[in-house]
A and B are shown apart, each in its own frame.
Chain A
């Protein structure tokens, strides 16, 4: 069984570097979500895709963040010119719900540490 997979699981980078995270959702899930979670907090919504279309972006997603889902399957989240405040767990989730969010299936997350 292939759940949602994320890569890499851990990333340590220096301030100013670019990083890219990849998410492979559950097959045939048309909705894909990115959340960010800092220590002691709940996940915060960043953006979501329905198939290849990016339908919503949070105000948390500054110009340094970009997400793609080119063929409606896997997705990438890129952070340019990383800052120490970007240190967090980046969570990807997918859903098969046809109308609303429905039940989200989460990956194990990609933990980013910016030095």
Chain B
């Protein structure tokens, strides 16, 4: 089952605009990660934010985490055509006792950046 759910499912913007994607989840998490996937390729890790962090930056990426609302957002500033891809949030949860963790992915947001 998928714990995270991204919104919107698809997003189309002009090059240079900012893109914001949201992720909501259901249970308490250890951390939340964002991945990118180009069509037909593997996933690439973008950023990890721990449950005790509220905001994190990496280059043109900004991720926020609100554990009270069980939600996260990924902001890509000054988008480029090369940012066209699917973006997935993944939540790490602990289960089956200490030391067992699982990373569960959402269905993704398909971002199209028009040159």
- Interface residue? A40 (CB, 8 A): yes
Which residues of A1-15 have CB atoms within 8 Å of chain B's CB atoms?
4
- Tell whether, in the assembled complex, residue A45 and residue B42 are in contact, meaning their CB atoms are under 8 Å apart: no
Instruction: Give a binary string over B81-92; 1 marks a CB under 8 Å from any A CB, 0 the rest.
Output: 000000010101
Q: Chain A contact residues: over half helix, strand or loop, or mixed? A: loop
Q: Chain B contact residues: over half helix, strand or loop, or mixed? A: strand
Instruction: Give a binary string over B73-115; 1 marks a CB under 8 Å from any A CB, 0 the rest.
Output: 0000000000000001010101010011111111110000000
B42 contact set on A, CB distance < 8 A? 4, 91, 106-109
Interface size on A, residues (CB 8 A): 25
- Interface residue? A104 (CB, 8 A): yes
Chain B minimum-CB-distance residue to A55: B100
Instruction: Give a binary string over A25-47; 1 marks a CB under 8 Å from any B CB, 0 the rest.
Output: 00000000101000011111100
Instruction: Give a binary string over B7-39; 1 marks a CB under 8 Å from any A CB, 0 the rest.
Output: 000000000000000000000001101010000
Q: Which residue among A41, A43, A45, A107 has the maximum number of chain B CB atoms within 10 Å of its CB? A: A43
- Which 7 residue pairs across A and B have the least CB separation, nearest first? A42-B105, A106-B42, A100-B101, A106-B43, A101-B103, A108-B42, A103-B45
Shortest beta-carbon distance from B95 to chain A in Å:
9
Q: What are 21 A-B interface contacts by the 8 Å CB criterion?
A: A35-B105, A41-B108, A42-B2, A42-B88, A42-B90, A42-B105, A43-B43, A44-B105, A45-B102, A56-B102, A91-B43, A99-B101, A100-B92, A100-B101, A103-B33, A103-B48, A106-B35, A106-B44, A107-B42, A108-B41, A109-B42
